A and B are shown apart, each in its own frame.
Chain A
């Protein structure tokens, strides 16, 4: 046997065994088994051998050696493929790359409110924000001398005046949708929610000149205070949590009779009015006001072309900002529309 070949093969065994990385190993593999590799060379030389006996012995020898080397190679390769390499540095540092944006809190609240009402068969629809006085007031049983209709409570808009419907206003509430929806559908049943921008000329810690309200309107045969209570309490529990209690208190709105203020038990002091720091600063004696509601006033049904001796209904109107501020614990309503991103982003 050619000792030169033997020592070469032995060298390859050692190289394979000592390869320092998978890349090295593959390089050596090519050197040995590649098209222009050592074995290719050996078999080429063998082909020219004229001594048949020698050719046979050599051939068998080469194949055995080849298998041995293949074996050494795959063993070493397996070692690499199974090995967990050490890493340099801390693998637990946070990643960097493209950042998420953010949805406005009002959008999130709207989405949640929609979902809650949609489960019980209420559909959403929308109505004008720039509205005739008629739909924002007269149709809602609010006569011309009502204080809510003066310059201090309602924004008026320069522009055409309708003989039938009066001046243009920025609607101060979503209730303008009530009579519009009655007229649009023609007859009950109605199961509407209206989520929209409303405007009032106030600007302080708890008031912004533009806010969002959501309005619910249910008109059908046999609708009573029981139904209003059931639905208000359903919403409060779904939105704020199942342990939240609801109560109705007497109130006064022109377009509902009876009218109620809807309160929920305070989610910060669990309705006790007291926190670890002392008196709860968020609620009044354990209760938080959500907004107004009531049975639809017969005059409003009449304005909507609905016979109040056959049908009755309930309605409510809550401020989205109000419920969002309660739920997400926002202290100053103006932050919602200041456009200052420091409330949203870290600088």
Chain B
């Protein structure tokens, strides 16, 4: 998350000879990223990015702590004049005995709540310091009381709420989970219907007065008539807050703190400082006993780490004194025992420092990633048959992509998911497809089992172009009973052309792979009868054909498609024959015959070739209506033509009409 902080608020607590530009650069290298700095008057506003594990840094106290550790490594002088996290404690306060407030808590919802009632408050404009602070961080000042609660959050990283005490029925604050459908109007004057299981506060009259961790309720708002208030400083369980803010779309700075998880210990200095500010700025005084309900609080964790481990991880030597100074300037306790260093973790780091490697990270980043040498990783050859297969498949893919692009095809990358509508166009059963449980758009719901619908959608979206030739190579997803789906790498082609020309493209493609392709008659729901199955050396590898008129009509063009299973095709490939081999002197002769249904090219030529071992190769030559000319490349004994025998065989045994030779 990003947070804005005025540079002056840091300088007030940290004395240093650093310029703001250096401050930005040094902290960004070793700690939180200060992404931008904007000059406002005599001050600067820093836009700081804080990672989710370091929400403790997202406040003035946290940045002061980081700067205290980082700047000395750049030879800058620092001293902390006010440590917000450790200088303030409840023991500094004296509370009256009055029992005005009753907090009924559930520790699974809130591990700690501190609260107290103030009376005789005077509402007015905030002090110059607080008002300008809030304006710089983008918060609109309202009045001294509300402003203090916001100000505290930016100083301590701990959200604070202030209720109008007299609007809380019976002085009772009861935390509970919401029921689905409950309604609450919040301070933004919008009414929210709750999804259920949100943390809410109910007062003695059973009305909801707070959507916890997100925003206060309108009914308990501080206004110009307010005389008594409740300073309310709670911790909340982060998972509830995140879910509520995502589902209700009610977001606030407070929720972005809570959903990352805040330690319960900072409640104390925040509360103490809050009492100080309210007393000073609202002339208020406390009129109730202290409410501080919590479960077991954090006891400092101890971790043992060796200097050698730190050195091995960084890759170079770091002085042991440097290590100790870094850790103690971050607030860690450091004691040496023999070869190891005992490190105790302060409360504000309890959620991100657990193990020795966490300590290494602290040392390494403050020592400075920028100072560590760049060394190439040592070379190591990994031999593995599967890797070789992958490489081969990739090489083949590149060859085919290059060929297609060189002949005018455009490569597409489409989403792996498709819509119900598109499945309908292609008569695909949605039940047979993997479905996304939480789709974000109707267009992206089903995991595709064919590339063609995606390319078809591309055609629909680009009707202004003529003669489009599109292709995509990607995975399709075939569900399996009790396992992950089979992810089949697939080449899809859709082109405004004739099937004959597409077949030539396919033949050229497989030539790039040193294999061959054969056709058999096929049938697909979305294709006309001009549809073929594709085989490579006897293995089924896909389909090609012409799209049904219904599909063509939407685009107004003739469309032919092909889809090939990549792996089936590539495992059929073989090493190319050497070019140096001398080509034999073939006898080349043509035969023209009339097509006979049921005896398609592949069957016919296979039969003829099986019958006559002299035939080395049969080539398709030409076609006129249903008359087809084939060319035989033969190596007959004594150079005698076998065409006559071949024609006889075709006529008599296959029952084909052959033109007289």
Whether A341 contacts B375 in the complex (CB less than 8 A), given A130-B487, A209-B440, A249-B369, comes out as no
Stretch at the interface among A22-30, A52-60, A74-82, A101-109: A101-109
Q: Mark interface residues in A166-205 (1 if CB within 8 Å of B CB, else 0).
A: 0010100000000000001100011100000101011100
- CB-CB nearest in chain A for B394: A124
In the complex, A270 has a CB within 8 A of chain B = no
In the complex, B42 has a CB within 8 A of chain A = no
In the complex, A73 has a CB within 8 A of chain B = no
Closest beta carbon of chain A to B193's beta carbon, Å: 19
Contacts of B622 in A (CB 8 A): none
Closest beta carbon of chain B to A221's beta carbon, Å: 9
Contacts of A145 in B (CB 8 A): 239
Contacts of A298 in B (CB 8 A): 355, 357
Closest beta carbon of chain A to B310's beta carbon, Å: 11
Whether A123 contacts B479 in the complex (CB less than 8 A), given A229-B369, A285-B36, A341-B410, comes out as no
A257 in contact with B358 (CB, 8 Å): yes
Whether A340 contacts B461 in the complex (CB less than 8 A), given A103-B401, A247-B29, A252-B54, comes out as yes
Which residues in window 199-257 of A have CB below 8 A to B?
199, 201-203, 209-210, 218, 220, 222-231, 233-234, 247-252, 257
In the complex, B374 has a CB within 8 A of chain A = yes
| B: interface residue count bin | 35 or more
CB-based A-B contact count at 8 angstroms: 249
- CB-CB nearest in chain A for B25: A285
In the complex, A89 has a CB within 8 A of chain B = no
B412 in contact with A339 (CB, 8 Å): yes
- CB-CB nearest in chain B for A226: B315
Report how far A18 CA is from B639 CA in the complex, Å: 55
A229 in contact with B374 (CB, 8 Å): yes
Stretch at the interface among B378-386, B530-538, B579-587: B378-386
| A: interface residue count bin | 35 or more
A101 in contact with B469 (CB, 8 Å): yes
A247 in contact with B314 (CB, 8 Å): no
B415 in contact with A337 (CB, 8 Å): yes
Report how far A257 CA is from B441 CA in the complex, Å: 36
Contacts of A116 in B (CB 8 A): none
Contacts of B313 in A (CB 8 A): 224-225, 258, 295, 312
In the complex, B361 has a CB within 8 A of chain A = yes
- CB-CB nearest in chain A for B311: A224
In the complex, A138 has a CB within 8 A of chain B = no
Stretch at the interface among B107-115, B288-296, B430-438: B430-438
A252 in contact with B410 (CB, 8 Å): no
In the complex, A126 has a CB within 8 A of chain B = yes
B24 in contact with A337 (CB, 8 Å): no
Contacts of A203 in B (CB 8 A): 440-441
B390 in contact with A225 (CB, 8 Å): no
Contacts of A90 in B (CB 8 A): none
Contacts of A249 in B (CB 8 A): 28-29, 33, 369
Instruction: Offer 30 A-B interface pairs, CB within 8 angstroms, sorted by A.
Output: A98-B408, A100-B406, A101-B406, A101-B407, A101-B411, A102-B405, A104-B413, A120-B376, A121-B380, A121-B381, A125-B387, A162-B482, A191-B382, A197-B416, A197-B474, A209-B415, A209-B444, A223-B377, A226-B314, A226-B372, A229-B372, A230-B375, A247-B29, A247-B369, A248-B370, A249-B29, A252-B52, A284-B35, A339-B414, A339-B461
Chain B residues in contact with chain A, CB under 8 A?
Answer: 24, 28-31, 33, 35-37, 51-54, 239, 242-243, 246, 259, 312-316, 352, 355, 357-358, 360-361, 364-365, 369-370, 372-382, 384, 386-387, 390-391, 394, 398, 401-402, 404-417, 434-441, 444, 447, 454, 457-458, 461-462, 464-465, 468-469, 474-475, 477, 479, 481-485, 487
Chain A residues in contact with chain B, CB under 8 A?
Answer: 98-104, 106-107, 111, 114, 120-121, 123-126, 128-132, 145, 147, 150-152, 155-160, 162, 168, 170, 184-185, 189-191, 197, 199, 201-203, 209-210, 218, 220, 222-231, 233-234, 247-252, 257-261, 284-285, 295, 297-298, 312, 314, 336-342, 344-345, 347
The 7 closest A-B pairs by CB, nearest first: A224-B315, A226-B315, A258-B361, A252-B51, A189-B380, A101-B409, A248-B369
